[in-house]
Chains A and B, each alone.
Chain A
Amino acid sequence: MTGIISGYINRAYKELRGEILVLPSRTVALLFCLTLFLLPLITSEPYTLRILIMASIFAIFAASWDLLSGFTGQMNFGHALFFGVAAYTSALLNLHFSLPVWLSIPLGALGAVLAGLVIGVPCLRLRGPYLALATLAFPLILTGILFVFPGITGGELGVSGIDRLSSSRVTDYYIVVTLMISLGFVMWKITDSKTGIIFHAIREDEVTARASGINTTKYKLLAFCLSGLFAGIAGGLYVHFMRIAGPSTLELMLSFQAILWAIFGGIATIYGPIAGVFILYPLLEFTRFMPEWRMLFFAVIVLLVLLFMPEGLITRVRDKIEKECPRCKLRNIATRKSCRVCGVDLG
């Protein structure tokens, strides 16, 4: 019995050394997850936890934008639509049908998937900037519709009086952070699979992808639905954490912010947007001591970073500390002279 357990531990240790610790980026990712999990043991200050919870929610949101727009190149300027639809769906289901949290969030996400289908089908005909600007319109139109029915949606004030995610802040934190890490991992796995390669192909050259026998329509719709699903989960979590679903969940600025976080970190990576949110969101919060200047400071930092690293911060840093083996395409730490698997000279 102990032999089996020690065998497992041994294997886990080998995996850790062979797959994670060999690459600085994976080590950093592991450290990041560990830090997030161990943080409440050090501090349970509500304000810090709140910032990290919000950052985690927005990390899911930004990564879901990346899944759609970064990978398939279908520029979505109205990503807040998914967030807002899920937020309002969860809130209304929870309030009027008193559905528990673990049911209202998935149903809200389902609503966002439907929204993805509703905008995905007509938008299949549009491409490039036309698609971007058409998607921009949807959340703004929905905002107008919300104001027509103030009895149901609360109009300007939104829907309030929603159940909390859980009874304590620390539990909230663990729920959101666990979901963020696992959903981030799922998204990364999706983009690493065959489907992900097809998404890449659609972005690079849609006509060639179709000529290679790929049903691009199907995959584009799939991307819209998947993106809607993850953004919807983020929207549901947000609504149960903030306990209010207002028109701000559909705002133009929210859509732009998702794009901003994703491009800042580096698109078509999934981990880029997550890192982007975890850098930029706390930065904006911690500069509260200079309230009039913080947005300006924020915009200037984003501008300067993008001017010098137009491909995104994380993508650039990763290219600096790791290089790709020319023969087997595996990544190696930049200090190695030869590839860790095939031994080819990295020069």
Chain B
Amino acid sequence: MIENIIINGLIHSGVYALLAVGFSLVFGVARIINLAHTAFYMLAAYLIFTFTSSFGLNLPLSVILSVVAVTIIGLLSYKLLIDPVREHETTVLIVTIALAIIIQEVMLNRYGGQAGGIPSLVSGYTEILGVKVTNQHLLTFGVALIVLLGTWALLLKTKVGIGVRSAAQDREVANLMGINVARIGMITMAVAVALAAIAGALVAPLFALQPHMWMHPLVMVLAIVVLGGLGSIKGSFVGAFILGFAETSVVFAIPEGSFLKGAVALSIMLVVILIRPQGLFGVAFEEER
């Protein structure tokens, strides 16, 4: 059981980390709570399904195509729908939730309540600690880790990354230092949506595709980001692992109580932010100017 928890926990946490890091980046830089974030994750999974089953493309090509397509859709929706109403914080919430519902409904109409699965990228399994792990699971975790490390390097080592981090710290001063904050916002959104799309591509062969598959990850991502501290990349990473493992432990330790997985994870988040209102690694935001 312990081995199961560790291995499944790592995989779930990896996927959650991909989603949460992107969400956190967008919040940090653009101060947007993007409730459609996990809808892009769902969209990527569905696009892969479309490319493989309707157009007969091979799997690696359709993965790449769908990540690119979702990134473009994400950027367009940011530019056309979210950016014009940015001044009204509450309106952004509804615009993004409406966007998520639109994506969900289009998928529901196109594919019905239950679409088929996607074949795994790799077959076979490896035995680790006496647990049979399919290679697809290993690949999922491996890719998640590599992509996360890549994002980390992008943020810490490149000029664009420094721009993103400084815009997250203080938008106006960053602007005064000659950083094109609007462009940084676009880049951040692109990175975030691409991360969500990669997460979607990774889970597509593991889970059954459903038009409602964005709801649960959305709640988890919100909880993770708050737990780790809004806008903190390290926090999102650590939060993803804490809540991912909490969820998996509930599922494997009390199988008859697996409906409690969300409740347990959210309770952990609540306890933490009631003790530390700014989350684990969050800095208390100074009053926005």
Contacts and interface: CB of A to CB of B under 8 A. Distances in A.
Contacts of B85: 306-307, 310
Nearest to A142: B263
A306 B215 CA distance: 23
Given A130-B279, A295-B105, A306 B95 contact: yes
In the complex, which of the residues A125, A129, A295 has the most CB atoms of chain B within 10 Å of its own CB atom?
A129
Contacts of B104: 295
B17 interface: no
Interface string B73-95: 00000000100110110110111
Nearest to B105: A296
Counting chain A CB atoms within 10 Å of each CB, which of B93, B94, B262 scores highest? B94
Interface in A121-170: 122, 125-130, 132-134, 136-138, 140-141, 143-145, 147-148
B21 to A, nearest CB: 16
A260 B97 contact: yes
A267 B92 CA distance: 13
B285 A264 contact: no
A252 interface: yes
Contacts of A256: 97
B117 interface: no
A207 interface: yes
B124 to A, nearest CB: 37
A101 interface: no
Nearest to B274: A122
Given A133-B222, A252-B215, A303 B260 contact: no
Interface in B251-289: 257, 259-260, 262-264, 266-267, 269-270, 273-274, 277-279, 285, 287
Contacts of A136: 219, 222
Contacts, number: 117
A136 B273 CA distance: 13
B270 to A, nearest CB: 5
A134 B270 contact: yes
Given A132-B33, A295-B105, A303 B269 contact: no
Contacts of A302: 94, 98
B95 A307 contact: yes
Contacts of B215: 252
A45 interface: no
Given A136-B219, A307-B84, A144 B99 contact: no
Nearest to B94: A263
Q: What size tier do the contact residues of chain A reach? A: 35 or more
B16 to A, nearest CB: 15
A56 to B, nearest CB: 22
A286 B164 CA distance: 47
Contacts of B102: 296, 299-300, 303
B88 to A, nearest CB: 4
Interface stretch (B57-65, B135-143, B173-181, B223-231): B223-231
B226 to A, nearest CB: 4
B267 A296 contact: no
Interface in A74-129: 75, 122, 125-129
A293 interface: yes
B123 interface: no
B27 interface: yes
B260 A129 contact: no
B260 A147 contact: yes
A154 B264 CA distance: 21
17 contacts: A122-B274, A129-B27, A130-B226, A132-B33, A133-B225, A136-B222, A137-B270, A140-B262, A143-B263, A144-B262, A252-B215, A292-B109, A295-B105, A296-B105, A299-B99, A299-B105, A303-B99
User: Which are the 5 A-B pairs with shortest beta-carbon distances?
Assistant: A144-B263, A296-B105, A137-B266, A299-B101, A310-B85
